[in-house]
Amino acid sequence: MAGRLGRDTVSDETELIRAAQKGDDEAFEQLVYAYDQSVLRIAFNLVRSREDARDIYQEAFLRVHKNLRTFRFDCSFHTWLYRIVTNLCLDHMRKRKVRKEEDTVVETEEGRKDRLETVAEKEAVADPQRRLLSLELKERMEALLEGLTPRERAVFQMRHHEGLRLRAIGEILGTTEEAAKNCLFRATQKMRAGLGDWI
């Protein structure tokens, strides 16, 4: 077996970073391969587009490559990397939100309505179990996620799907654990209110 879990992992990573800082391309590649799946998963879940996730992946690692020499181990490497990725995703989502502001309003027989409301009106399936798994519910949750602010969405994604602790999320977003906690509160509150009696 090539690698082992345990206390050596951190020092191995430190050695890899130091080697990559000195221009060792193989060490840099190993760093990329250790984290790039998570990076792509975060980007893909936040921006929900193959092309945009690919751009974010590349931009994030190019920034790491360019700035690695200035990395001074003030925080862990993965915190630094995730900070770069989430900042890129947040910028992207903010830009898209401005572009999409218009698109969320759709024309219906009863006039102009927000997309969120139209999803809410879809007829529910009688069986609660089937209802839970139904496509409409998934669609509704997708719409609710779209309705979160970029920062709420990032906190929710990192906590719910990546399993990161709120303290780490706060550090990644350059804020406090308390602020990350408040973001998560707001996100879950919106989701709960939006899901109403569906669950």
Partner 1 sequence: MNCEKAREQLPLYVYGELEFTPEEEMEQHFSECGECREALERERRMHAALEATAVSAPAALLSECRRELRSVIRAKAERRPWWRRWLPGEFHWMQPAAAAALLAVGFFSARLAPVKVGAETRNGEVTASRVRLIEPDRNGAVRIVLEETRQRDVFGRPDEDRVRRLLLRAAQEPADAGLRVESLDLLKAETTAREVREALKQALLEDPNPGVRMKALEALKPYAEQAEVRHALSQVLLKDESSGLRTQAIDLLIQHRTGDLVGVLQELMRHEENDYIRLRTQRVLQEMKASVETF
Q: How many CB atoms lie within 10 A of CB 42?
A: 25
Q: Which of 15, 26, 91, 117 binds partner 1 (CB under 8 A)?
A: 26
Half-sphere exposure for 65 (CA within 13 Å, toward CB): 14
Beta carbon of residue 28, minimum distance to partner 1 (angstroms, whole number): 8
Contact predicate 117/140, CB 8 Å: no
Q: Quick one: which segment of 57-65, 83-91, 99-107, 119-127 binds partner 1 (CB under 8 A)? A: 57-65
Told to check if 83 binds partner 1 by CB under 8 A, we report no
Beta carbon of residue 111, minimum distance to partner 1 (angstroms, whole number): 29
Q: Which of 122, 142, 174, 176 binds partner 1 (CB under 8 A)?
A: 142
Which of these, 47, 53, 12, 46, lies nearest to 162 by C-alpha position? Answer: 46
Read off the tokens for 41.
Answer: 């998963």
Q: Quick one: which segment of 23-31, 84-92, 101-109, 111-119 binds partner 1 (CB under 8 A)? A: 23-31
The number of residues in the chain equals 199
Complete DSSP assignment for 95-113: HHHHHHTTTTEEEETTEEE
**SS3 label, residue 114:** strand
Told to check if 37 binds partner 1 by CB under 8 A, we report yes
- The DSSP call for residue 125 is P
**Which residues in 159-188 contact partner 1 (CB under 8 A)?**
159-166, 181, 184-185, 188
Beta bridge partners of 111: 108
Contacting positions for partner 1 (CB under 8 A): 1-6, 9, 12, 21-23, 25-26, 28-30, 32-38, 40-41, 43-45, 48, 50, 53-54, 57-58, 61-62, 65, 69, 132-133, 137-138, 141-142, 145, 159-166, 181, 184-185, 188, 191-192, 195, 198-199
